[in-house]
Chain A
Amino acid sequence: MDFDLSADQQALVSGLQAVMRPYEDLTAAERKSFCCYRPALQRALRDAGFFDVASHGLGTLEAGLVAVTAANSPCAAEVATSALVWPAVLDGTPTGPVAYVSGDLNKAARFLHVAHHALIDTGEDLVLADVSAGDVQEVETILAYPYGRFVAKDVVRRGRSLGRAALALARRWARIALALEFAGAAERAVAFTVDYVKQRHAFGQPIGSFQAVQHRLAQCHQLTRGMRYTALYAAWKGSDMAANIAANTAQRHAGKLCFDLHQFNGGMGVTNEHSLHLWTHRLRALQGELGGAQGAALALADELWPAAGAQAARADFVAALAI
């Protein structure tokens, strides 16, 4: 077990950060918006091959590193689904953003407004649908992702069935992708807030010097460390159990993170120009997806404590490797 990045992994992350760096500086309009999505960044990531990592020589852990690192950006790029869910069920590379859609197809879905493809969980099947402009409608939101909803009624019928086995795989990898995306956004939100409380003074000293602030920020940091490593572990392991643990670990702490981080950014944090929402409102968007923390926990419980007659899975998911 080695928690340090290998030379290849470090090169991968550094390369990704280099591609993302020019997009750190937001335009005046972006700084006043609820969401920053740039097609140019999306194309740059695709052209540089970051969505092919899992299928080209490296592996799913490396794809996980791409997803968690990309989620640090103030710009919401569709990376996790393309880099992790797509390769689990399909060959090749998507031509553009992929929306993962589950549940009620009439409801808004992340990235659907900008998507080239949709992976649709119908409950019985996984369907791949190519998405064209007339199929979707943009949905206004304060959540920091581009959202859209289907207006075409025949999307599923026009799509390609990938089957139940693919559906099970997609559900697993969608939870892993979500956990990675959550971890990356949460890390940046905490780092952003730590910087802010060092600069912002109240009562003659930085607000970050007050123990009431320090303790809660330390807890937020602790949570993000757990999120990072459970998500990366899940990307490496690729099991349902690891996926459910990672998703639960991320989603159930969204409330604590968003509350504390907004508190410490105070009045500045409720202005769009301050940018905090570009990360916290991604956490809020992800908080309830795929059944939320409760859904992941119940899926985990089904594995750990199945109905009588079925065999329980081993819960110590790391040490289990030793036996």
Chain B
Amino acid sequence: MEFAWTPAQDAYRQQVRLALDELLPVDWAEISQDGMGSARQIDYSRVFARALADRGLLVPHWPAARGGRDASPWEQFILAEEMKSVGEPRGPQYMNVNWIGPTLMRYGSPQQQEEHLARIAAGSVVWCQCYSEPGAGTDLAALTTKAERRGDAYIVNGQKIWTSYAACADWCFLLVRTGSGRKDVSILLLPMSTPGIEVRPFPGLVEDGHLNEVFFTDVEVPATAMLGEESRAWEIVLYALSFERVGIPRYHIGREVLEWAVGQLRREGRFDDIARARAAGIVAGFETARLLTYLVVDQRAKDMPPTTDGNVARIAAAEACTELSDFLLTYTPDCLTGGDHVLNAFYRGNISATIAAGTYELQLNLIAQQGLGLRRAA
């Protein structure tokens, strides 16, 4: 056990920070004010990700043969940490580089790999993932969007929802039902410009760009667009989701938001011992989440089988974020009425952070059953 960063990791963090200093435009704060799902930030992400790719900082963790340099998960995470600390200028492309690309490398046909990987590595394409449906969120296997084989194509009909970035995405990673069995699901890779796809953004409590319905009406997709074998995609889904076991480092924005609140309380002479102790407790919560996240990165770097420490880290982060939301609304009740985009982004993002990519309760189920060995009720 050793908690120090290596000199190489220190140097890499500095390299990423330097790149951010040089690449981010002076009006980045303005560009990013409407959040990662906004059309403006997605547009900028295409510029930024290309520039990052030029510096070898978009997919360093990919194999050298695919445009990376076989960097370790530690470097991948340091990169994510630094990107998140400035508002994630890669936009939705963090998904491409972190799990869509690696999933294609493992399960894609040579043609699919040829078609997609170079573009992802170059930062010139935005993907969305069409998983959830109105009746299939946490229980993903309940999905009903159907793909029926007709000759050399599949005909897709159904509806997806809560599809982040769908309105601006170029490509879609689509989960469909191809059989009557509960896990008879398949994955299709298709351009969002395919006839029959309609995206309808709708308003909601989370940030703009995340809430989209995607309707598929007699959408014809070539059979060659299927990832892996028909009705055998469940393994692929689990593989792709495993990349999310290292959660998004939300402690940076959390600290930024907390400092805003503390600044206001100090200016107003209201930062008494009760508020100070509570604010410090929130910092302790974020730092605990950070250490637990590092624990998971370390396990990944050693190629260890997944443990429930990933779920533990996510719970720790969720608890700290929730405590901060409570703090904000208790001590700075005007925080959501002034239009401050950082506060809005944090608060609104936090609402869905305990729901998306496996609910808080699902994380607890996994910890209890897979980590502690408790069996499910009969």
Name the distance in Å between B139's Cβ and chain A's nearest Cβ.
15
Residue from B255, B276, B365 within 8 A of A315 (CB atoms): B255
Q: Which residues of A contact B242 (CB under 8 A)?
A: none
Q: Is B292 an interface residue (CB 8 A)?
A: yes
Which of A61, A206, A218, A322 counts the most chain B CB atoms within 10 A?
A218
Q: Is B65 an interface residue (CB 8 A)?
A: no
Question: What is the interface of chain B mostly: helix, strand, loop, or mixed?
Answer: helix
Cβ contacts A229-241/B at 8 Å (1 or 0 each):
1101100110000
Name the distance in Å between A155's Cβ and chain B's nearest Cβ.
32
Binds B, one of A97-105, A143-151, A300-308: A300-308
The answer to whether A301 and B277 touch across the interface, beta carbons within 8 angstroms, is yes
The answer to whether A229 and B292 touch across the interface, beta carbons within 8 angstroms, is yes
The answer to whether A214 and B373 touch across the interface, beta carbons within 8 angstroms, is no
The answer to whether A3 and B1 touch across the interface, beta carbons within 8 angstroms, is yes
Which parts of A270-322 form the interface with B (CB within 8 Å)?
A: 293-294, 297-298, 300-301, 304-305, 315-319, 321-322
Which of B291, B298, B315, B377 counts the most chain A CB atoms within 10 A?
B291
Residue from B1, B5, B374 within 8 A of A209 (CB atoms): B374
The answer to whether A5 and B315 touch across the interface, beta carbons within 8 angstroms, is no
Query: A217-B368, A225-B312 are known contacts. Are A1 and B288 too (CB-CB below 8 A)?
Result: no
The answer to whether A9 and B280 touch across the interface, beta carbons within 8 angstroms, is no
Q: Is A215 an interface residue (CB 8 A)?
A: yes
Cβ contacts A1-32/B at 8 Å (1 or 0 each):
11111100100000000000000000000000
Q: How many A-B residue pairs have CB under 8 A?
A: 176
**CA gap between A4 and B271 in the complex, in Å:** 41
Q: Is B79 an interface residue (CB 8 A)?
A: no
Name the distance in Å between A215's Cβ and chain B's nearest Cβ.
4
**CA gap between A232 and B309 in the complex, in Å:** 17
**CA gap between A9 and B3 in the complex, in Å:** 14
Q: Is B281 an interface residue (CB 8 A)?
A: yes
Question: What is the interface of chain A mostly: helix, strand, loop, or mixed?
Answer: helix
Q: Is B371 an interface residue (CB 8 A)?
A: yes
Cβ contacts B347-378/A at 8 Å (1 or 0 each):
00000000000000101110111011111111
A residues touching B (Cβ–Cβ < 8 Å)? 1-6, 9, 61, 65, 194, 197-198, 204-206, 208-211, 213-215, 217-219, 221-222, 225-226, 229-230, 232-233, 236-237, 244-245, 248-249, 252, 293-294, 297-298, 300-301, 304-305, 315-319, 321-323
B residues touching A (Cβ–Cβ < 8 Å)? 1-5, 9-10, 13-14, 74, 81, 251, 255, 262, 266, 271, 273, 276-281, 283-285, 287-292, 294-295, 298-299, 302, 309, 312, 315-316, 361, 363-365, 367-369, 371-378
